[in-house]
Amino acid sequence: MPHDLKFIGENIRSFRQSRNWTLAQLASKIGIQEGPLGRIERGGNLPSATVIYNLVITPVTP
């Protein structure tokens, strides 16, 4: 599972960086705080279903 968490986090970080968004900007768009999002990106936390859903519906424009 730790490898899966890291893989998920790396993909979320890649998504964020490809849009030139800061951690704060993406966190705001998906309705969570920066700290938990940072832990998800580093593979320390598993994103909830709500976070994943909010990532899917997040508009790709700034």
pTM: 0.88
- At 10-48, the pLDDT tens digits run 999 999 999 999 999 999 999 999 999 999 999 999 999
Does residue 34 sit in helix, strand or coil? Answer: helix
Q: In b/e form, how buried is each residue of 39-51, taking b as 16+ CB within 10 angstroms?
A: ebbebebebeeeb
